[in-house]
A = this chain, B = another copy of it.
């Protein structure tokens, strides 16, 4: 019997099972510095202890996407080692900020299974929960992936979970203490507040970043994500490595500072699609659309529901994302739907 992990196949999952993911991880200021080196991140709340304190927090938490990547990375050996495709996200909620020194662990509950008609693969839905060393939930989200069967076999009773199209405003959690009463728009970098954004408004974030192999591999390793396709050049004829989709999320979110500098914290993940693969050499650009607006119970804190689209190859000027067949056009990398907190 081999001692190495072959990963789970479709027939290894059962609805209701809770998978406890391995390798707890303590994250501190080193991970924060690397986040700033790997992405052009400038949101002030995640850049400065002093700014975070103005906003009622004890100090600057790690970027909300560090929470996401660290939790996601833990799930890879159990959920997506034999995945054919990462199909979607839903019902993502950030509950507690990730503070420097926290140790992250993660579990996933299998909440849905549906075998494909070809009998060679199926869709697995998991609800993943990341926790800190106190057992508090950091982040919870649903993700579904297409996973290979080890061998053909009878299909299990299909269970397809009902998932919310978006996280309801009343389910968004504002971090304890956060308020924007004394918010300093000058230090934050832009004057635009909640009231300045209109539903339907589109913001071109202008800047582009060309991605290198060394960068995305360092980032993906940092989250202890072990998926072979990101690291092993022998898996593709052209020697390129498939870039971890989360790398594109962080790149796009960081670039969106230019026009959304005050959308400080991500608190909800409504949905998301990695529309096309990203490779080293691609130049990533992005734009956002305001999908919805809401107020929260916290002083001065509003929420924007944003669609964040990342494109490559000059796709920023293409008016449409999908072809007549309903499929994403080749220039689209990411189509993400999330809630962020912004001063009222």
Task: Looking at the assembled complex, report how far the CB atom of A72 sits from the nearest CB atom of chain B, in whole angstroms.
Answer: 15
B-binding segment of A24-32, A83-91, A166-174, A327-335? A24-32
B190, A3: Cβ atoms closer than 8 Å? yes
How often does this chain occur in the complex, in copies? Answer: 3
Q: Size of chain A's interface in residues, with CB distance under 8 A?
A: 77
Name the interface residues of A218-236: CB closer than 8 Å to any CB of B: 218-219, 221-222, 224, 226, 228, 231-234
A23 contact from B28, B48, B103, B214, Cβ within 8 A: B48
Which residues of chain B are near A258, meaning CB under 8 Å?
A: 4-5, 226
Q: Is A292 an interface residue (CB 8 A)?
A: no
A208: interface (CB < 8 Å): yes
**Contact: A208 with B231, CB < 8 Å?**
yes
Residues of B within 8 A of A187 (CB): 20, 22-24, 105
Is A291 part of the contact surface with B, judged by Cβ < 8 Å? no
A212 within 8 A of B: yes
> A36 — nearest CB in chain B belongs to which residue?
B222
Tell me if A231 and B209 are in contact (CB < 8 A): yes
Listed stretches A111-119, A146-154, A156-164, A199-207; interface member: A199-207
The winner among A20, A31, A281 for most chain B CB atoms within 10 A is A31
Contact assessment for A212 and B217 in the assembled complex, using a CB-CB cutoff below 8 Å: yes
A40:B204 contact, CB within 8 angstroms = no
Report 6 cross-chain contacts, Cβ distance below 8 Å, ordered by A residue.
A5-B190, A26-B47, A40-B224, A40-B226, A207-B228, A210-B234
